[in-house]
Amino acid sequence: MNNGKKLLFIGVAVILSLSIIVFTVLQVRKQQETRSRASGGTVILTINPETTTKSVGETFSADVFLNNSGFDISGINMVVKFDNNVLEIINFQPTEVFSKIANTPNNQSGTLLYYASNISTDKITDNNIKIGTLNFKAKTKGTALVGFQKAEITASRQTAFLPTGDHTTASFTVTKGADDVSPTQTQPTNTPIPTAIPTPTEAPTPTFAPTPTLVPGGARISLDLNLAGLGESGNKNPRVKQKRTAVCVYQITADYTGDNNCNRATKKADGFIMFNNASKKFDATTFDLGIINEGEYEIFIKVDKYLRKRIPGTKMLKANTTTPIQPIKLVSGDITGNNKIDVEDYNAWLACFGDKAGTDKCLNREAVDLNDDGKTDTTTDFSDYKILLQNFAVREGD
């Protein structure tokens, strides 16, 4: 009986020990995966198949996939490079995962530019996302390498492009056709030279009224704002040196409820912040709130094309006193002015893209110019769109 109990005890102990080991291994693996995700991971573009052999004149396809390491992908900007001496690109057929911005094959340069974004609220987190299909025609005998000349990928809640790993480079071999025609006798199809997109005429610099004179006895705040895409964080020579700014404050009382558009604000003030060409930033600016009751206030800031921002915490405001506000960064991309970054802003940007900037479809070129360089985006310049894309994760202002 004693031996039986000992064996039973030993068996239970062994099972318990194995369970602890398995649990520990699983926890360590989970922590490693968590740390890997937290450290950012890498994203990789692949081409499938990586190798194939075709005869001159044959057409074939290769799929492009994105291994995203679990990120919620918000946009992709890629340039595929191929040997245009051996291959001719017919087209690139994207899947419906993203909304296309640009899809430009160019047989003269041997490149394909594809730019797209996720403008829906659905997350794109699959580990292996099919981006689309490359369709080629075998042109002359030889071996053609097909790879990625450029890959910029963004994700929700990531402020920079995602780190990338080693993207696939495919190798496609082309042999002579059945009739053994010499490549010198083959007359390749001439690719028409694409029509150049005209550079839009720069919009005139708007004229603003001066900031109102300070009211004697009024409460004042001093704002130091960092505007995304301008100054130190972008275009260091913005065309418009003054930015219209609205300030609204709410006194913290027993019945304070707040609102999302300053309708019930205790006090409002409008003015302008000024860009300093020497420091490459917007100077701290004083806003006069007039005569208000002394007390604790919540403060909200709204600049044209930027989401409204609530200053963290509350501030004591009182007469004849200027209260400094710590430097704060505002998020750009609110083209339509509804305090959101959504599909309406995307559509407004798209309506002014390329040669559409000079048409009646482009309703507000000034608002679409997010980096304030006086230009709208073209197939070779996506500077405004990059700002919009990187801030899609924020979605809504305070």
Read off the pLDDT of residues 275-311 as tens digits, 9 standing for 90 and up. Answer: 888 888 888 888 888 888 888 988 899 998 899 998 8
Q: What percent of the chain has pLDDT over 90?
A: 19
- The pLDDT value recorded for residue 260 is 63
144 has a pLDDT exceeding 60? yes
Domains of the chain, residue spans: 44-177, 220-390
Q: What is the pLDDT of residues 349-383, one digit of tens each?
A: 888 888 888 888 888 888 888 888 888 877 667 88
Q: Quick check: do 44-177 and 220-390 share a fold?
A: yes
Considering the chain, what is the average pLDDT of its residues? 78
Q: What percent of the chain has pLDDT over 70?
A: 75
> Bigger pLDDT: 5 or 278?
278
The span from the CA of 146 to the CA of 105, in Å, is 13
Q: What is the pLDDT of residues 186-232, one digit of tens each?
A: 444 454 444 444 444 454 554 444 444 555 668 888 888 888 888 87
> Is the peptide bond preceding residue 49 cis, with omega within 30 degrees of 0?
yes
The span from the CA of 9 to the CA of 7, in Å, is 5
- The pLDDT value recorded for residue 393 is 64
Interacting residues of 129 by C-beta distance below 8 A, sequence separation 6+: 65, 66, 67, 68, 73, 97
DSSP conformation class of 18 = H
> Bigger pLDDT: 279 or 40?
279
Side-chain half-sphere exposure of 220, counting CA atoms within 13 A: 17
- The pLDDT value recorded for residue 184 is 46
The span from the CA of 384 to the CA of 345, in Å, is 12
Q: Find out if CATH 2.60.40.4130 is the number for domain 220-390.
A: yes
Mapping DSSP onto H, E and C, the string for 289-302 reads: CCCCCCEEEEEEEE
- Residues 102, 77 contacting (CB under 8 angstroms): no
How does 101-131 read in b/e, with b if 16+ C-beta sit within 10 Å?
Answer: bbbebbbeebbbbbbbbbbeeeebeeeebeb
Pick the CATH number of 44-177 from 2.60.120.560, 2.60.40.680, 1.10.357.10, 1.10.510.10: 2.60.40.680
> Bigger pLDDT: 175 or 195?
175
Interacting residues of 181 by C-beta distance below 8 A, sequence separation 6+: 56
Q: What is the pLDDT of residues 122-142, one digit of tens each?
A: 788 888 899 999 999 999 999
* 3-state SS, residue 317: strand
52 has a pLDDT exceeding 80? yes
Bridge partners (DSSP) of residue 214 are none
Q: What is the pLDDT of residues 56-105, one digit of tens each?
A: 999 999 999 999 888 888 888 889 999 999 999 999 999 988 887 778 89
